Amino acid sequence: MIVATLLTGAIISTSLQNPTDLPRSAIYLFEQAPTDGASEAAHEAATKLLVAGKLQVVKLDFEKSWSSFYPHDKFPKLRYKADEIFPEIPSAFNLLQVAAAEKLEYMCIIRCQYHAESKWVALGPKTKGYASVDVMLIDVANGELDISVKRLRSDSTKVESGLETVGSLLLSSGITMWSGGPKTPHLVRAVQTSLGFAFEDWVAARTKAKANRA
């Protein structure tokens, strides 16, 4: 519920502006079978959740950094088709080395897998979207995992705390309302819900710690 409050429109306009005086973090998000709208919404939600947790988010070329450490080990590409083999997240130890070389204080890597299905009901076709996420957030300085979530799966009809966490993202100022086909809104809702569940406890703890220091 703390995260849900943070992500209301009133707070987004001030606290989620990605200030540059906070610890540096970066996101690498790779996906299987997304739509363009779902992919952009996932990146946007992940960024806002990290900023809500009092981090700044910078853009880096992780593939280039990775190849300098592990030239014979492929880094996951950004997108995979539904029929392609979808790799796991690389090891935390290897990611820690790359993040330290890039002078990051936090590194977040997210693996998203999407699926949509349509069923015919009395009034016509009904579409449902699913998103399964793996999330790893590394505290580089301490060599610790702040978040380690595997196979967290939500669907576009789920009404639980994860949806409350990011539900306001769908309506808040500064968030694009994605279109692009009948399944895109369902995949957007599903991935935002999954990411909400994954980040919920971490953002709440970071927000509480910040308030206690104030």
CA distance 131 to 151: 9
Nearest residue to 12 (alpha-carbon basis) of 43, 52, 46, 45: 52
pTM: 0.82
pLDDT in tens, 11-25: 333 345 566 789 999
Copy the structure tokens of residue 201.
């406890």
* Strand 106-121 versus strand 24-32 pairing type: parallel
Instruction: Provide the domain count of the chain.
Output: 1
For the chain, which residues score pLDDT lower than 50?
1-15, 162-163, 167-180
Copy the structure tokens of residue 72.
């014979």
CA distance 15 to 139: 21
Range of the domain at 161: 2-213
pLDDT in tens, 33-42: 999 999 999 9
The pLDDT, as a whole number, for residue 9 is: 34
CA distance 189 to 160: 12
At 94, give phi and psi (nearest 5°): -65, -40
The pLDDT, as a whole number, for residue 171 is: 41
